[in-house]
Structure 1
Amino acid sequence: MTNENRELLKKGIEEFNLVADEKTLDRFKTYRELLAQWNQKMNLTGIDDEKGTYIKHFLDSLSAVTGGYIKDEMSIIDVGTGAGFPGIPLKVCLENTKVTLLDSLNKRINFLQEVCTQLNLENVEFIHGRAEDFGKNPEYREKYDIATARAVAGLPILMEFCVPFIKKGGYFVCLKGPNANLELEESKKAMTTLGIEFVEKIDVKLPETDLNHNILVFKKISETPSKYPRKAGKPAKSPIK
Structure 2
Amino acid sequence: MDQITEQFTALLKQQGIELSSAQLSQFELYYQELVSWNEKMNLTGITERAQVYMKHFYDSLSLSFYLNMEEVQRLADIGSGAGFPGIPLKIAFPHIKLTIVDSLAKRISFLQHICDELKLTGVELIHGRAEDIARQPAHRDAYDVVTARAVARLALLNEFCLPFTRQSGVFAAMKGSDPTEEVAEARKSLKELRAALDRVEAFRLPVEDSDRHIVLIHKNGATPAKYPRKAGIPAKSPLI
TM score, norm. by length of structure 1: 0.97
Gaps of 5+ in 2: none
1:150 equivalent in structure 2: 149
- Per the alignment, residue 35 of structure 1 pairs with 34
**Deviation at 1:195?**
0.8
Alignment partner of 1:99: what SS? Answer: strand
Question: How many residues are paired up?
Answer: 240
In the other structure, the counterpart of 2:99 is 100
The answer for the alignment partner of 1:124 in structure 2 is 123
> Which amino acid is the alignment partner of residue 140 of structure 1?
H
Match of 1:223 in 2: 222
Which residue identity is paired with 1:35? L
Deviations 1:204-234 (A, max 9, x none): 2322012111011011011111111101111
Offset from partner CA, 1:109-159 (integer Å, 9 cap, x none): 010011111111110000000000011111110111010000331100011
The answer for the alignment partner of 1:22 in structure 2 is 21
The alignment partner of 2:201 has SS state of strand
Contact between 1:134 and 1:140, CA under 8 Å: does it hold in 2? yes
Give yes or no for contact 2:77–2:85 (8 Å, CA) kept in 1: yes
Instruction: Provide, for residues 22-68 of structure 1, a one-character-per-residue CA deviation record: whole Å limited to 9, x for no partner.
Output: 11111100000000000000000000010000000000000011222
Is 2:183 the counterpart of 1:169? no
**What are structure 1's unaligned runs of at least 5 residues?**
none
Does the Cα contact within 8 Å between 2:173 and 2:214 map onto a contact in 1?
yes
Query: RMSD across aligned C-alpha pairs, in angstroms?
Result: 1.2
Identity %: 42
What amino acid is aligned across from residue 112 of structure 1 in structure 2? L
State the AA in 1 paired with 2:49.
E
Q: Residue 205 of structure 2: SS of its match in structure 1?
A: coil
Contact preservation (8 Å) 2:69, 2:93 = no
Aligned to 1:68: 67
| TM-fit CA distance, 1:72 | 5.0
1:115 is aligned to: 114
How far did 1:9 drift? 1.3
- SS of 1:126's equivalent in the other structure is strand
Tell me if structure 2 keeps the 8 A contact 1:200–1:217: yes
Give the whole-Å Cα distance in 1 for the aligned partners of 2:200 and 2:119.
34
**Which runs of at least 4 in structure 1 moved beyond 6 Å after TM superposition?**
none
Partner of 1:82: 81
